[in-house]
Amino acid sequence: MDKHKNILQDTHGRDHAYLRISLIERCNLRCTYCMPEEGVKLSPKSDLMTYEEIYDIAKTFVDHGVTKIRLTGGEPLIRKDIPVILEKLATLPVELSITSNAVIIDKFIDILKTNGVKKINVSLDSLDEAKFKHITRRHEFKKVYNNILLLVEEGFTVKVNAVLMKGFNDNEIIDFINFTKDLPITVRFIEFMPFDGNKWDMSKMVSYAEVMTYVNTTYKDNQIERLQDAPNDTSKNYKIKGYKGSFAIISSVTNPFCDSCNRLRLTANGQLKNCLFSSGESDLLSALRNGNSIEAIIQKAVQAKFKVRGGMNTLEKLKEPKLHNNNRSMITIGG
């Protein structure tokens, strides 16, 4: 391996400074687009990264240029050693953030603050209590809703992620945008993406164009403000003038943001995925446990990254089940 080469730069010139680490494959919700109805085969506990291994792998990435780490799951907060993981990672010179379903996040406010976590993404696919129960298979809506309000009150930067599915919650787009009227939050609409077991098909997806049709028929042109997107941003950002918060659309399917992608994913069992859509994985944990360097494996995985959506560079390829059914379920990749 060339020691002078940036091992996190791929063959398309993209530098990867953002690592998403899944801490656990389990969750206290059962969202249909994330977890197959029959559940998933969980990795044995011995196959999951320990907190020391999470730190060691994360440090290697940081040493080579990662500046942002997001902890995901499953639900990361149900991992019993989450306080230790946060404490260890907080010693690294990175921006540390977390994605949660917010069911139990009220118990972790002080721990998150102590370890410098300021940005929290909350998954919430419906503002209707009955629909929430249907999609999550759990009766936790009031808890999640109240915890979002609590996070805002406690000064966290909160983004609410809603996966849109036609005929299910696309009629709530305006309700979600109005949710930003009095709260300084960002609601992000995410196109429904194909993963193993989530019964994806194109007809269930609500596209960027369709979201904007709802917006443009509800609000006047002079009310809709296009915001400046941050570098490497996955979303197109907007706000309604006078509203405290904003909204955004993550159009991974119809308008992929691959050109500026700077993200890598580490699964809870120590596999590196260079793209959310890719079924390929590179085993970092076994190498680490065998006392071998993981840098060459990281470099090879980054070099193998396709230019667009794990090689599915057309919608026709995306519609082909065999090209994405070998990928993991979302819960075992990490949100």
Tens of pLDDT, residue by residue over 39-56, are 667 889 999 999 999 999
- Give the whole-angstrom CA distance, residue 111 versus residue 117: 9
Q: For residues 2 and 78, which has the higher predicted lDDT (pLDDT)? A: 78
CA-CA-CA-CA torsion sign (314, 315, 320, 321): positive
Is pLDDT at 4 greater than 50 in this prediction?
Answer: no
CA-wise closest residue to 116 among 90, 152, 151, 83: 90
271 near 285, Cβ under 8 Å? yes
> Which tokens in the block code for residue 237?
């950002």
In this prediction, residues 220-231 reach a mean pLDDT of: 95
Q: For residues 272 and 325, which has the higher predicted lDDT (pLDDT)? A: 272
Which residues touch 191 (CB under 8 Å, ≥6 apart)? 163, 164, 205, 206, 207, 208, 249, 250, 251, 252, 253, 254
User: HSE-up of 229 (CA within 13 Å, CB side)?
Assistant: 12
| pLDDT recorded at residue 318 | 56
In this prediction, residues 142-163 reach a mean pLDDT of: 97
Region of 102 on the Ramachandran plot (φ > 0 left; ψ -120 to 50 alpha; else beta)? left
The residue with tokens 């164009």 is 209
In this prediction, residues 147-162 reach a mean pLDDT of: 98
The kind and range of the H/E element at 132 are helix 129-136
| pLDDT recorded at residue 115 | 98
- Give the whole-angstrom CA distance, residue 199 versus residue 190: 16
Q: For residues 4 and 70, which has the higher predicted lDDT (pLDDT)? A: 70
Is pLDDT at 172 greater than 90 in this prediction?
Answer: yes
pTM: predicted TM-score of the whole model, two decimal places: 0.88
Question: Which amino acid is it at 173?
Answer: I
CA-wise closest residue to 263 among 34, 82, 43, 97: 97
Question: Each residue of 233-258: pLDDT tens digit?
Answer: 889 999 999 999 999 999 877 766 68
Determine the angle formed by the axes of helices 51-63 and 295-303, rounding to 10 degrees. Answer: 60
CA-wise closest residue to 160 among 116, 169, 151: 151
pLDDT band for position 328 (50/70/90)?
A: very low
Question: How far is CA 240 from its chain centroid?
Answer: 25
Is pLDDT at 285 greater than 90 in this prediction?
Answer: yes
In this prediction, residues 115-144 reach a mean pLDDT of: 93
Share of the chain above pLDDT 70, in %: 84
